[in-house]
C-alpha cells in the first residue's frame, strides 16, 4: 500500500512498497527541468535544442581556437602513433581533435557539440528500445558512475550514433568495472542505491537532487500511522520523524511518498512540525515530493522533529500493505495501521526485505488490537524495507 524512506518515501496500494535519508558534498548545478516526453521529429529538433544541454558542463567551447588547433593536434597524434608503433584508436583521434580524453569529458563535449539536452538523448534511446534516465546520463557525464551492465553498454553504442561519434569512441574509454555490493559509492547515494536499485522511482522523482538526498541529516526515530477506510482503501497517513544533523548548517529534508494505485492521489497536506516549502505530485510516477524546512540551521549533531499528514483520495483497489525503506540504522521505528470497523482484516503480519524487490523474510503474525489497529515497534532497525501486510476475508 505505501512506502517511505529513512528520510522518506511512501507507497500506497494493493502490492508491496518502500523508503529513506543521510550527508552532503557540495551540490552540482541542477539539470534544468525536462519538457515532457515527445517523439523525435527530425534533425530540425537538434537545431532547436542547440546549446540547451541539461548540464552546465556540457556547453560547447568557443569554436574558433579549437577549429584552428584541431588539424595540428590530429597530425601530432598520427606522428606519435607512428613513432611508438601503437595503434591509433578512434578515442585517441577524438582526444587529439577535441582535447577530451576521458569518458565523461568526451560525452560532455559531444553533447555540447550536438546541442542535445539529456531529455532529448533519453527520448532517442527510448525510441530504440533502451531506457536510460536523465539522472543516469547526468551521472555518466559527471563521472559519478559509468556504464557497466549489458543494457548500459548497448546504450553507449547507440549514443555514439546519436552523437555522431566514430564507433568505439566512448566504449574504448570505459575503465574496469567498479566494485559493487558493500563497496558501492559511499554516502547517501550509494546507500540508497543498495536498497532501491538503479533508476528507482525515488531517483526519477528527485532527478539531480537524488545524489544529495538528505545527506545532511539522518533519521533517529520514525513513527508512521496509516488509516484504512471503510472500503479497505487508504484514507490517509501521518509521519513523525526525528532527524539529527550530520554537519552544521542542515535546514531542510526531502520526503518522497509513492502510491501503487494511480487513483490514490494526495488531496490535503498538513505539516505540524516544520514548514512546507514544496509539495509536487508527479502523476506519471505516482509519487509526491515534499520539501520541509526546519525553520533554523542546525549545529552538528543537533536534532529536530518533522511531522506531516497527508489525506488521500479513494483508490480503486483495497490496500494490502504498508512499507518503509531505510538506508541507515534507525534507533526506533513504530508502524501503526488503523482499520475501519467495517473493513477489518482476517490476518496481519510483519516482514522485512533486504532491498526493494527482494522476497520478504522474518515474517510474523501480529494481532489486531482493541482499537482495530496493528503495530510493530522495531528497535535498532537495520537498513532495508520494513512492512506490514494484511488480508481480507472472502
Q: In whole angstroms, how far apart are CA 296 and each of 274, 275, 306? A: 10, 10, 13
Q: Which residue has the cell 601503437?
A: 86
Assess contact for 103 and 173: CB atoms under 8 A.
yes
pLDDT at position 108 over 60: yes
What does the DSSP assignment read for 304-335? EEEEEEEEE---SS---EEEEEESS-EEEEEE
Q: What are 25-63's pLDDT values in tens digits?
A: 444 444 444 333 333 433 444 444 443 333 333 333 444
Lowest-pLDDT range, 99-108, 110-119, 169-178? 169-178
Q: What are 251-278's pLDDT values in tens digits?
A: 999 988 888 777 778 889 999 999 999 8
Residues 174 and 129: their CA atoms lie apart, in Å, by 22
Closest CA to 196 of 114, 284, 106, 287: 287
Q: What is the pLDDT of residue 274?
A: 95
Q: What is the pLDDT of residue 25?
A: 41
**Phi, psi torsion values for 32, nearest 5 degrees:** -65, 150
Q: What are 143-160's pLDDT values in tens digits?
A: 878 888 888 888 999 999
Mean pLDDT of the chain: 74
pLDDT band at 93 (very low <50, low <70, confident <90, very high): very low
Lowest-pLDDT range, 44-48, 232-236, 370-374? 44-48
Q: What are 173-202's pLDDT values in tens digits?
A: 876 665 444 334 445 555 666 656 566 777
Sketch out the chain's domains with CATH numbers.
2-22+200-391 (2.60.40), 43-173 (no CATH)
Chain mean position to CA 355: 15
**Phi, psi torsion values for 105, nearest 5 degrees:** -65, -45
Q: What are 280-316's pLDDT values in tens digits?
A: 888 888 888 899 999 999 999 999 999 999 998 888 8
Q: In whole angstroms, how far apart are CA 362 and each of 158, 191, 196, 295? A: 44, 22, 20, 40
Mean pLDDT, range 209-228, rounded to an integer: 87
pTM value? 0.55
Count CA atoms closer than 13 A to 322's CA, side-chain side: 26
Q: Which residue has the higher pLDDT, 81 or 194?
A: 194
Closest CA to 21 of 222, 201, 170, 199: 222
Q: Which residue has the higher pLDDT, 186 or 220?
A: 220
pLDDT at position 75 over 60: no
pLDDT at position 16 over 70: no
Q: What percent of the chain has pLDDT over 90?
A: 29
Assess contact for 17 and 321: CB atoms under 8 A.
yes
Amino acid at each position: 500500500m505505501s512506502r517511505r524512506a529513512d528520510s522518506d518515501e511512501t507507497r500506497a496500494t494493493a502490492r508491496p512498497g518502500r523508503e529513506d535519508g543521510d550527508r552532503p558534498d557540495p551540490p552540482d548545478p541542477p539539470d534544468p527541468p525536462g519538457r515532457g516526453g515527445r517523439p523525435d521529429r527530425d534533425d530540425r529538433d537538434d537545431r532547436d535544442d542547440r546549446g540547451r544541454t541539461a548540464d552546465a558542463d556540457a556547453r560547447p567551447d568557443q569554436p574558433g581556437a579549437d577549429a584552428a588547433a584541431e588539424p595540428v593536434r590530429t597530425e601530432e597524434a598520427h606522428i606519435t602513433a607512428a613513432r611508438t608503433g601503437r595503434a591509433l584508436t578512434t578515442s585517441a583521434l577524438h582526444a587529439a581533435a577535441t582535447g577530451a580524453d576521458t569518458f565523461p569529458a568526451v560525452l560532455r563535449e559531444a553533447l555540447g557539440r550536438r546541442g542535445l539536452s539529456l531529455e532529448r538523448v533519453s527520448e532517442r534511446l527510448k525510441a530504440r528500445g533502451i531506457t536510460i534516465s536523465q539522472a543516469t546520463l547526468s551521472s555518466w557525464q559527471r563521472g559519478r558512475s559509468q556504464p557497466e551492465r549489458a543494457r548500459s553498454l548497448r546504450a553507449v553504442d547507440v549514443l555514439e550514433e546519436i552523437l555522431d561519434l566514430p564507433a568505439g569512441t566512448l566504449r574504448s574509454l570505459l575503465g574496469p568495472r567498479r566494485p559493487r555490493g558493500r563497496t558501492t559509492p559511499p554516502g547517501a547515494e550509494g546507500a540508497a542505491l543498495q536498497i532501491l536499485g538503479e533508476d528507482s522511482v525515488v531517483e526519477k522523482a528527485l532527478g539531480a537532487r537524488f545524489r544529495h538526498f538528505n545527506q545532511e541529516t539522518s533519521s533517529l526515530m520514525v513513527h508512521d500511522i496509516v488509516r484504512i477506510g471503510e472500503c479497505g482503501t487508504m484514507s490517509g497517513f501521518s509521519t513523525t520523524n526525528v532527524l539529527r544533523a550530520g554537519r552544521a548548517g542542515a535546514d531542510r529534508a526531502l520526503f518522497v511518498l509513492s502510491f501503487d494505485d494511480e487513483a490514490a492521489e494526495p488531496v490535503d497536506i498538513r505539516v505540524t512540525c516544520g514548514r512546507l516549502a514544496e509539495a509536487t505530485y508527479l502523476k506519471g510516477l505516482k509519487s509526491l515530493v515534499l520539501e520541509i524546512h526546519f525553520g533554523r540551521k542546525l549545529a552538528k549533531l543537533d536534532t529536530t522533529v518533522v511531522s506531516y499528514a497527508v489525506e488521500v483520495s479513494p483508490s480503486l483497489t483495497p490496500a494490502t500493505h504498508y512499507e518503509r525503506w531505510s538506508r541507515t540504522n534507525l534507533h526506533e521505528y513504530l508502524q501503526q495501521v488503523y482499520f475501519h470497523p467495517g473493513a477489518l482484516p482476517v490476518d496481519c503480519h510483519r516482514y522485512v526485505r533486504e532491498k526493494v524487490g527482494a522476497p520478504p523474510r522474518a515474517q510474523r503474525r501480529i494481532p489486531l488490537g482493541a482499537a482495530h489497529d496493528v503495530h510493530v515497534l522495531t528497535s535498532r532497525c537495520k537498513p532495508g524495507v520494513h512492512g506490514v501486510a494484511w488480508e481480507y476475508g472472502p
